[in-house]
A and B are shown apart, each in its own frame.
Chain A
């Protein structure tokens, strides 16, 4: 992985390359016009310099860049998870009791427990081989996508704010407010099919956007730190929603004393994508659209250009005439809307029978993890969200099938983030080159020469 350039770069051979190879013998055989050939050959070979270098930079980016660290962090976390699975397994404990008499038993027990647990995880999240039909076997994958839906939406919200230099810890509050608005429209308002869903969706997005916008506005106007503001707004939102859930006439279901809303009306619910036997709903389509939208904003639009400039260097952005304050507000509005999408997809898609104050299910915080694992890039977040959705879906079946505590999955999730946060550790374990010691112009001149006057 350290120096993959020459053999790899040459091997693929572009179309250009092929042309030359065919032309040359053909032209040489008649021997009639050697001169055009000799003049023709250098030109393509000169152009040939580019593809390998592009290959080279790409491979270097992957090996020294961030993506590979993410993948290796997952691998490492799964390895550590395997150790814990083995340790907590009763059969392993029993076999290790007579380890010195028959060590083989211990290793067999370890293998059985680890492979059993991870294959249960796989079967619970991707494809269940024990089902007869494909339709039944593929159900776990749809469950994974269902779980991933709010995680991706939330991850995009957190990741977008990251890119603008803000830590949006207020996912929970933004989800709760969005869920409440969308939920209230969903059960209390009568509208025709389709329109009802649309109004509830837009209402929820606006709710999340405005709730996050408070934090953005406070940061822009008063310099209040968004971390503190968003955390505090989580509490405000939680107790506000809890109160509304206990108050008849607001969110509480009529004739009930539980802090729970009535079920959503049929007209507002997200349609199921694959029919009744799967839970995957329209929210997943919305999340794909949101991912594309965020990708466009960040890498193609002028708004995203300003976002990134503010995120990387707010001083330079200000000097360049970019209104830094309003960028903070816009970014929080969009981030809040994305977390709002997570909340809306919970109440209109996943839990349509009415919700409680626990509807966010910790997704607001998991979204931070997803954004980190996805390196705050839209498609990275998309993949990370699906991975975490798989953990959620598979974790339960792992516990059911193999008796592995579901907490192990949470530990693995936490370890992933821990490893991501410590790239040098991962690089050392896998002996990856340090990007800072790259072949190009590094920055070793750490002394004052750089900023010497």
Chain B
């Protein structure tokens, strides 16, 4: 089915999220929609899916103008959406999830599960998905859950499939499998819109690429375009994708973790007997698929996990018996994984957020009084130094873009004398331009002789920053390998396979 968007315009107040966007997706084509966070990709797809009403422009399917009042209409017309955050009910089986919203019933209102099961099997067989219709969604790995989403869309006879950032939660292997599935769907005549900001995936699978920036189509590109060209289109200027870094000047061991285990609030062993060392002036990148214990590991380093066994020594001082306040005072800088949840107070001003973890004494507090003059001066300096784009230091942090928010966190943490820097997902949800800046600052911190631990699920980031890479799987360390380890090896390690002998660093 051919999908055409003509002159789609969507405004929110004075902000134009989509400005006369034209997009044509031919039948049996994989069309990539590339753009930074906030460029308007998701808004456009929500218009297509009937979640938003466009202020202007029209949607055409096979040259016929469509009017969608809601997702129901869009689905009926043959548009399916695979959301980044799965719209599945964990306690239902696959078949139940697939039939949800279109429940066929037998006489007396009894659900016709048999038909749903058959439908799941049929689609699953057609594409070789290998999905059990009676499995509980909760028990399935993330990659398989995504296939359930795809089956759900296909079961409604979707002829146009929209994938909204589908690879964010997948391992590299799962990503490759997804690409394979996309190609199969394409063979069967389905049109695919693939939304992403990951350049590698785009070039691998796309037939055509449309780049969106600030709500406008800024160009079309072919899959043969280089990463640098695509990035420049996305950001609107030339971007350095690789971080230039000198050879590390490695000092003595600073952070020594031995036999560390963490038990979470529901009693699960989430970090299992982990031991490693980080030396001064090096970056240890912790790679792994989301949810394999990296979050808890970083939290344990900062004293945020209550049930910890084993030992964490920083410059010879034991940290496990300490509390967050003392650990921060000992010079540990921390960028939490979820800045909105754990890193910032959205209703606070930039200035207030810059003193958030230093509200205990000089120089920000004297005799119980917040030193407002000093704080304002400090905030203005940091805003300038870290290039935070803002109306002023009194603007609420919640109103900043993701990249600028992260710069505020970074500015706060790097403005102290550090003895250890822990950054969890430092560039998640951050635009390409800010990523470049944040990476430079992290490398600069390393070069200043600070031991750095970076946790990332993005292999690009791991490869860009790491002097050594530690891969975690199900709470254990799969291996610690040199920073230049090839992608496919890392991918296998992220799936739990130990590296070949001799690769350890």
Contact = CB atoms under 8 A, between A and B. Distances in A.
A290 interface: no
A447 B42 contact: yes
B346 interface: yes
A302 B15 contact: no
A445 B42 contact: yes
A442 B15 contact: yes
B42 A449 contact: yes
B369 A300 contact: yes
Interface in B348-392: 348, 352, 355-357, 359-360, 364-365, 368-370, 372, 391
Nearest to A305: B359
Contacts of A315: 341-342
B346 A312 contact: yes
Given A305-B355, A449-B39, A453-B429, 8 more contacts: A301-B369, A308-B348, A309-B359, A313-B344, A316-B341, A445-B43, A449-B41, A453-B457
22 contacts: A300-B370, A303-B368, A313-B344, A315-B341, A316-B345, A319-B302, A319-B342, A319-B357, A322-B325, A437-B12, A439-B14, A441-B399, A442-B12, A444-B12, A447-B42, A448-B42, A449-B38, A449-B43, A451-B429, A452-B197, A452-B429, A453-B84
B85 interface: yes
Interface string B148-168: 000000000000000011001
A6 B148 CA distance: 56
B503 interface: no
Name, among A303, A312, A440, A448, the residue most crowded by chain B CB atoms within 10 Å (CB to CB): A448
Interface string B325-348: 101110000101000111111111
B356 A452 contact: no
A29 interface: no
A321 interface: yes
A439 B15 CA distance: 8
B13 interface: yes
B370 to A, nearest CB: 6
Contact of B304 (A300, A309, A318, A452): A318
B370 A309 contact: no
Interface residues of B, number: 60
Contacts of B329: 321
A309 B429 contact: no
Contact of A312 (B85, B302, B345, B364): B345
A448 B304 contact: no
A375 to B, nearest CB: 13
Interface string B168-211: 11000000000000000000000000000100000000000000
Enumerate the 4 nearest inter-chain pairs by beta-carbon distance, A residue then B residue, closest first.
A444-B12, A320-B357, A447-B42, A453-B168
B402 interface: yes
B155 to A, nearest CB: 23
Contacts of B487: none
B402 A450 contact: yes
A317 interface: yes
Contacts, number: 138
A438 interface: yes
A453 B428 contact: yes
A278 B302 CA distance: 60
Interface string A413-428: 0000000000000000
B168 A452 contact: yes
A172 interface: no
A306 interface: yes
Contacts of A319: 302, 304, 324, 334, 336, 342-343, 357
A23 to B, nearest CB: 30
Contacts of A318: 304, 324, 342
Contacts of B347: 312-313
Contacts of A438: 13
B46 interface: yes
Nearest to B83: A448
A317 B345 contact: yes
Nearest to B198: A453
Given A313-B345, A313-B346, A445-B38, A302 B12 contact: no
A305 B375 CA distance: 13
B450 interface: no
B165 A448 contact: yes
A310 to B, nearest CB: 9
Contacts of A41: none
Contact of B85 (A440, A443, A448): A448
B429 to A, nearest CB: 6
B17 interface: yes
B82 to A, nearest CB: 12
Contacts of B14: 437, 439, 442
A14 interface: no
Given A309-B348, A309-B356, A312-B348, A445 B17 contact: yes
B309 interface: no
A323 interface: yes
Contacts of B53: none
Interface of A: 300-303, 305-306, 308-309, 312-313, 315-323, 436-445, 447-453
Contacts of A300: 369-370, 372
B356 A444 contact: no
Given A308-B348, A309-B348, A316 B12 contact: no
A305 to B, nearest CB: 5
B342 A316 contact: yes
Contacts of B43: 444-445, 447, 449
B227 interface: no
Contacts of A313: 341, 344-347
B36 to A, nearest CB: 9
A140 B369 CA distance: 40
B370 A305 contact: yes
A93 to B, nearest CB: 48
Contacts of A453: 84, 165, 168-169, 428-429, 457
Interface string B428-445: 110000000000000000
A162 to B, nearest CB: 13
Nearest to A320: B357
A301 B368 CA distance: 5
A297 to B, nearest CB: 9
B93 interface: no
Contact of B360 (A321, A440, A443, A445): A321
A449 B37 contact: yes
Contacts of B46: 447
B55 to A, nearest CB: 12
A301 B357 contact: no
Contacts of B372: 300
A436 B38 CA distance: 17
Contacts of B336: 319
A443 B399 CA distance: 8
A225 to B, nearest CB: 18
B360 A302 contact: yes
A452 B427 CA distance: 11
A351 B329 CA distance: 52
B297 to A, nearest CB: 15
B15 A441 contact: yes
A376 to B, nearest CB: 13
Chain A CB within 10 Å, residue with most, of B340, B359, B372: B359
B323 to A, nearest CB: 8
Nearest to A299: B370
A316 B83 CA distance: 28
Contact of B37 (A441, A443, A450): A450
A159 to B, nearest CB: 16
Contacts of B401: 441
B38 A305 contact: no
A267 to B, nearest CB: 34
A221 to B, nearest CB: 14
B69 to A, nearest CB: 18
Nearest to B35: A449
Nearest to B302: A319
Given A313-B346, A316-B343, A448 B164 contact: yes
Given A302-B369, A313-B345, A315-B341, A444 B13 contact: yes
